[in-house]
Amino acid sequence: MSDTLAEPAPPTAAGSAEPDQPAEQPDQPAGPSLSPSRATDFMTCPLLYRFRVVDRLPELPNPATARGTLVHAVLERLFDEPPGSRTPAAARTLLPGQWDRLVAEVPALAELFADATEQAAWFEEAARMLDRYFTLEDPSRIEPSYREMSVRALLASGLTLRGYIDRLDIAPTGEIRIVDYKTGLAPREEYEARALFQMKFYALALWRTRGTIPRLLQLIYLGNGELVRYAPDEADLLATERKVNALWQAIDRATSAGDWRPRPSRLCEWCSYRSLCPVYGGTPPPLPPPPLPAPPADALPTGAPPA
């Protein structure tokens, strides 16, 4: 969730350039699980993954991530309006109320701006992104089946895929379209596969839970008003499944070895953890102790004294 780049979006608190992943939920699956944001973190830099997932180091919001969250919130609420009322003016009207709601949830957001002028400019950019949305889609002709849809899918490998889909449209024919809003710029062609990985990940999760391969994956880039569309097939999703399983094995090996190597790239510019990164002269904190294994069932106290 963030956004003023041409291609690989800067990593953020949620692990991608967009607020596509609400905070990790308490109802985590019992076995291993992976979201597309965390998978992307590991591919970007194993040390970044460690800081976020193993150390669970907090990250402060920044104006770009906050704007992504706000625009997503408005686009989600826009579909509460009757179709004829889903207008650019209505979307702009939703902005202040959604911002107040987000600030109530995360008070640190209120501290992001030096003054009212800076905040007004930031708001106006969010409003322009919403205006741009209407040049790409006509929401009065869309009735989403789901918004901010939680997906979970257990693969045969034992790995659970999890994540949140911004919008799922299901046609009367049963055809499925997965839609994701991005408040950054559309990626250059060489980075498009990376952007589509998240969408194929969701498509795989839906295929494994519903038995239907989504007809279309659609990324809506509000930073520059472009659409990226892709029609996946079975071979695509099987390849994604192999990739996700291989990624998980690599994460598992890194966890067992405690080997989280930094992988510097231009994305370091947006990394919240540069001060802790050896590449930039920092020292990572000691690794937290591994969680204690669950005791065997027959070792659990029953409340009855031993015989």
Q: Strands 160-170 and 176-182: what pairing?
A: antiparallel
Q: Which is nearer to ligand SF4, 184 or 232 (CB)?
A: 184
Q: Residue 119 and residue 298: Cα distance in Å, rounded?
A: 59
Residue from 48, 109, 176, 203 in contact with ligand SF4 (CB under 6 A) = 48
At residue 130, the 3 state secondary structure works out as helix
Q: What's phi and psi for 115, nearest 5 deg?
A: -160, 180
Site string for ligand SF4, 256-295 (x = CB under 6 A): ------xxx--xx--x-xx--x-xx---------------
Site string for ligand SF4, 223-262 (x = CB under 6 A): ---------------------------------------x
Q: Is 70 in the site for ligand SF4 (CB under 6 A)?
A: no
Q: Check: CB of residue 153 under 8 Å from CB of residue 161.
A: yes
Q: How far is CA 279 from CA 41, 250, 254, 255, 273, in A?
A: 17, 22, 19, 20, 11
Shortest Å, Cβ 278 to ligand SF4: 8
Q: Residue 169 and residue 146: Cα distance in Å, rounded?
A: 7
Shortest Å, Cβ 122 to ligand SF4: 25
Shortest Å, Cβ 7 to ligand SF4: 16
Shortest Å, Cβ 268 to ligand SF4: 3
Q: What's phi and psi for 291, nearest 5 deg?
A: -60, 145
Q: Residue 277 and residue 96: Cα distance in Å, rounded?
A: 38
Cβ atoms within 10 Å, residue 274? 13
Shortest Å, Cβ 262 to ligand SF4: 3
# binding residues, ligand SF4 (CB under 6 A): 14
Binding positions for ligand SF4, rule: CB under 6 A: 45, 47-48, 262-264, 267-268, 271, 273-274, 277, 279-280
